[in-house]
Amino acid sequence: MEKHKQSQSQGKQSQPVPHALNEFPLDNSLLKNLMVRAATNAASTTDGNSTNKSLADDSLLLDMVQQTDAEAGQAVLKAIGRYEILRELGTGGMGKVYLGSDPQTKRQVAIKVLQDARSQEARQFQREAQVLARVEHPHIVTIYDWSEDQGRSFIVMQYIEGESLAKKLQRGRLPEEYTLTILAQVAEAVAYANEQGIIHRDLKPQNIMLEKSSGLAYVLDLVWPRT
């Protein structure tokens, strides 16, 4: 009798995972793994401790699936406010920056998006936009708009087609004359901002954009009011 029970237990443990799982339509290995585990658990007998551990593992897998789905949802952001999202440009300290299109002005814009509009960073985000909107200088990126949508705060800025000074320096030293030109343009921008009661506090090559067509320098993230 005992030998017969062991044979039945082994038979249950060796049952294959249903063939339907191999045809699961979503390309999500985490979710498929979760379904395989659930099917395997249903086809086997375990003691209480093993069952609890299995349930804990399943819960962890499910959390991972949900996190993956949330990240995928962020990656497919198509619009915010009235602006169409064209592609992601990069990720900064406070959020992501996208290339967007303004249907009213028919121009391309850079859109800086913070995910949580209720956070302390979001309130700072809005203050930054209000400060920058007062600044008009040929070597400071212009702020066009700021608002909230879909639980996200965002700032709409002038789009500079080009690259950062940091990226350009990765390819080697710049000619002395061009270096002096960049320094002069950045110094003019920072001096003007100081006259408006604004300081930068994070001036670095990553925050200086060089326009591809003209070579002009533009200061980014000049956001802090002087205290």
Both ends of the chain: CA-CA distance in Å? 85
Among the options 102, 145, 202, 221, which is catalytic? Answer: 202
Q: Is 202 a catalytic residue?
A: yes
| Torsional sign, CA 126, 199, 210, 135 | positive
How far is Cα 154 from Cα 82, in angstroms, rounded to an integer?
12
Q: How many Cα atoms occupy the beta-carbon half-sphere of 98 within 13 Å?
A: 22
DSSP 3-state assignment of 52? helix
Cβ–Cβ contacts within 10 Å for residue 56, how many?
Answer: 10
> Residue 14's closest CA among 56, 57, 54, 45?
45
DSSP category for residue 44: S
Beta-bridge partners for 157? 110, 143
> Residue 85's closest CA among 12, 182, 156?
156
How far is Cα 51 from Cα 209, in angstroms, rounded to an integer?
57
* Active-site residue list: 202
